[in-house]
Amino acid sequence: MASILLLLLPLFSVLLFTATITESETFSTTVKAPYPGNKPEKLTHIHFYFHDIVSGDKPTAVAVARGTKRNSSATFLGVVAVADDPLTVGPEITSGEVGRAQGVYATADQKKSGLLMTFNLVFTMGEFSGSTVAMYGRNPIWSKVREMPFIGGTGAFRFGSGYAQAKTFRSILLMKMLWLSIMSMFGISF
């Protein structure tokens, strides 16, 4: 009797395993792209000013974490800030807001001053209103020109990729204004 059970056990296991596989959902599916053939691409170049204000009555960036007191790094390794910075047409903060830079940056280098930046550039005015650009990368803050990757977007920047170049336009104690230029390649939606 025990030998019959030992013979039937593998058969029962195979049947149970097969039933489980046929009833489970697939991990992924492939769908046809919503556009025929190769998608046309368009190059867009936009520029604006990015105002990062860390003090005063209405700061736009707030430190939310700091490294330990034992951290003796000259670069302040471990400071993390959350920002909702205005993006404007001109260098003055009153020049007309075209969007917001919303995200997080952190000091992430022990030897040279450099930030890890992860931001969504949210456009609220003009032809790109309602669209976003996702920017993620290293910002070596003392370099004259910094380049960061643009890794995607929504709306007009759907399927987009490109890069952003930043230059410090003006730096006043506890406020930094950047000129940001974005070159973007993206597919046109039909």
CB 181 within 8 A of CB 45: yes
Q: What is the pLDDT of residues 132-164, one digit of tens each?
A: 999 999 988 888 888 888 888 899 888 888 888
3 state DSSP class of 151? strand
Percent of the chain scoring above 90 in pLDDT: 19
Question: What's residue 34's pLDDT?
Answer: 57
Q: What is the pLDDT of residues 71-91, one digit of tens each?
A: 667 777 778 999 999 999 888
Q: Which residues contact 77 (CB under 8 A, 6 or more apart)?
A: 67, 71, 107, 108, 109, 110
Measuring CA to CA, how many Å separate 183 from each of 28, 76, 88? 33, 31, 17
Model pTM above 0.75: no
Per the model's pLDDT, the better-predicted residue between 171 and 99 turns out to be 99
Per the model's pLDDT, the better-predicted residue between 88 and 3 turns out to be 88
Query: Residue 97: pLDDT band by 50, 70, 90 thresholds?
Result: very high
Query: Residue 189: pLDDT band by 50, 70, 90 thresholds?
Result: very low
Handedness of CA 68, 65, 141, 175 (dihedral sign): negative
